[in-house]
Chain A
């Protein structure tokens, strides 16, 4: 399994390099045709590059630390048995700490489902994993400012909770009517 993901990573890297190559080629061609735009394009790119490069190593270190110090089985252990308001906030917190793409969280969510965790908590966990990551919020802070970041964060937490409850109700309701249909 580990080997497979490594191979996948390699393939992804090749794809990304290809993407970069194509974009670079387009940029060079465009700038050769319209040399008067060169200054604007380069100064704009340079500004964003500087902003990014000053925080990217720090963000990566934070992500690495989370990945190692908050392993997945800890999440399953804590979330499998918590409930109520505390459960939902714990789910969001647990989703916000570790890092990695969303698809890493699916198996964790499946394990939680099997353990009998509430659906609302699992949805909150998945959503938090997707969009309330702490390193992510830091980059958002850098580029979009404190007000934007805090407002979006609070609204997201609120609506993720609502969404979890709504989905749970829908699932429970449909389970009542058609008792059979469950996923394998």
Chain B
């Protein structure tokens, strides 16, 4: 157990106690939602964790760093940006995946770009977004998100 694990669990416990004091019925409802979402996300968590295991067993580090490492250059960054935009992985699960890639030689920039496009851009939900918010807003938001994700990643790569 590291500090972060303790912190996250403590935070949840404190919030839970406050919620219970404030409104018991609402808190029960919240816990019900929590349990349902836990089981809802669990299969995907398991699948991604197996993929991480397979990655570390079968994909050599040199291969990963060639595609998304420091030396992959801007093309590597564009590749992960596209992957992040297209893939539909819950963001919660993208973090362990990103961490495993980082361990295996991916650059900080590509990991940051991947997480950012993955969360901000939704190719799968784009038609829905267009229908509800209009073509102009939806396309501008997704398009500009792609660009700022790359900028954010590049800056993080310089800073860290």
Q: Are A163 and B52 in contact (CB under 8 A)?
A: no
Q: Are B145 and A163 in contact (CB under 8 A)?
A: yes
Q: Are A142 and B5 in contact (CB under 8 A)?
A: yes
How many contacts between A and B, using CB within 8 angstroms?
Answer: 239
| Chain A contacts for B52, CB-based, 8 A | 44-45, 48
Q: Are A141 and B132 in contact (CB under 8 A)?
A: no
- A contact residues, total (Cβ < 8 Å): 83
Q: Are A151 and B100 in contact (CB under 8 A)?
A: no
Which segment of A24-32, A72-80, A85-93 sits at the interface?
A: A24-32
Bound complex: CA A102 to CA B124 (Å): 11
Bound complex: CA A147 to CA B140 (Å): 30
Q: Is A16 an interface residue (CB 8 A)?
A: yes
- B contact residues, total (Cβ < 8 Å): 78
| Chain A contacts for B102, CB-based, 8 A | 144
Bound complex: CA A148 to CA B57 (Å): 26
| Chain B contacts for A156, CB-based, 8 A | 116, 152
- By secondary structure, the B interface counts as helix
Residue of A45, A106, A160, A163 with most partner-chain B CB within 10 A: A45
A18 to chain B, nearest CB (A): 9
Q: Is B56 an interface residue (CB 8 A)?
A: yes
Bound complex: CA A157 to CA B11 (Å): 23
10 example contacts (A-B, Cβ-Cβ < 8 A) are as follows: A26-B54, A55-B8, A61-B30, A65-B19, A103-B128, A131-B115, A141-B7, A142-B95, A151-B159, A151-B160
